[in-house]
Amino acid sequence: MPFGLSALGVLGDLMLLEVGILAVLGGLVEFSRSKGVYEFRRLALRSKEEFSTVKHLEASRVAVTLFSAALALFFILIVLALAR
C-alpha cells in the first residue's frame, strides 16, 4: 500500500505531495521567464514584449527559493522515514 494510514504516514505523504508541488512550481516560474518562451510568444502570438534579463533573474530567485523549500521538505521527509 503506497499511502500510510498512521499519522506519521499521512504527514509523510502530504510532505511528499508538497515537495512535488514546490518543485513543479519552481520549474514553471523559471520556464515562464526564459528566453525561449519570449521567442515563442513573439513568433506564434505576435507579442511585442521583449526578453528582460531583470525579469529572468527575478524569476530565477523565486525558483531557487521554491526549489530550496522543496529540498528542505524532502530532507525532513527522509529523516522521518528513517526514524520510522
Return the DSSP state at 33.
T
Any domain includes 30: yes
Domain assignment of residue 12, yes or no: yes
Range of the domain at 23: 7-79
Measured between alpha carbons, how far is 73 from 22 in angstroms, rounded to an integer? 10
Q: Does residue 69 form part of some domain?
A: yes
Tell me how many domains the chain contains.
1
Residue 58, domain member (yes or no): yes
pTM: 0.78
Across the chain, what does the average pLDDT equal?
87
Q: Which three cell numbers stand for residue 53?
A: 534579463
- Asked, for residue 46, whether it belongs to a domain, the answer is yes
Which tens digit of pLDDT belongs to each residue from 36-52?
Answer: 888 888 889 888 888 88
Q: Is residue 84 part of a domain?
A: no
Residue 52: inside a domain: yes
d(CA 18, CA 15): 5
